[in-house]
Structure 1
């Protein structure tokens, strides 16, 4: 059974999944950092289907990603939306714990997130639900 968004912020570390489902990521054909995130996911054991598109705005809207949560690429995995440079470990934890959220997001493009890889910028991974409510899923010091 899925957990509520309110309990999401209470969930900390959890065991990794034995096998990860495939991820479909939509990205601009010219975005190098998106390609680096795809590689990060593959190196972490995910099978990734990468689709280049110029229709990112429409894809984000259809996925329920509000502009305040948006980043450069949008992925789908096992019924969840992954927006931006979310670490593979958080995606694995999301899939293992199955909280009642629409997905995870790192709004914007923090320089130290996977695929950006420039240390020094702290960031948060947010869980978001169908109504646009958010809760911190994890924090990174940068």
Structure 2
């Protein structure tokens, strides 16, 4: 809990958007269990891409996902809300920006599971108990192992279609 609070404090001190960012993006609320360092890394990815992000520790993620109508088949660890949409898992900032531009009638976007190399899953943290990308064991051999993944659009009926491929 202290690490999450320290990260939130540090994030509040950092600029919310890169210098020169002209986009007017809505704020993002990220709900995550404790500890989840990959969730914090994903929130930082959003900040680096111009979003204002608030982290909220959430003990009952299942209840939150049910309330936001996140289908079980697309669940990941963290869940976010932005402009009336849910964002489930390690969705790239570019996909969220595209969603906000297109404004489809949908529940939200999802990257199911924990694909290696997705935003927030590029680096290893030895204290991360779940969700961190596995790297080679020695510093000289450190390379991100990346897997292909899809960002899914979840429509109002809970059906999915591929929104973007990565």
TM-score of the pair, normalised by structure 1? 0.84
Query: In the alignment, is residue 69 of structure 1 matched against residue 95 of structure 2?
Result: no
Alignment match of 1:21 (pick from 26, 35, 41): 26
Unaligned runs of 5+ in 2: 1-21, 123-143
C-alpha distance in 1, partners of 2:55/2:116?
Answer: 22
Match of 1:116 in 2: 121
- Counterpart Cα distance in 1 of 2:164 and 2:101: 15
Q: Which runs of 4+ in 1 moved over 2 A?
A: none
Q: 1:130 offset after TM fit, Å? A: 2.5
Which has the bigger relative contact order, CA under 8 A and spacing at least 6? 1
Q: Which residue does 2:138 correspond to in 1?
A: none
Matched residues, number: 125
CA displacement, residues 71-91 of structure 1 (integer Å, 9 cap, x when unaligned): 010000000100000000000
Please tell me whether residue 87 in structure 1 is matched to residue 113 in structure 2.
Answer: no
Q: Match of 2:164?
A: 138
Query: What TM-score does the superposition give when structure 2 sets the normalisation length?
Result: 0.73
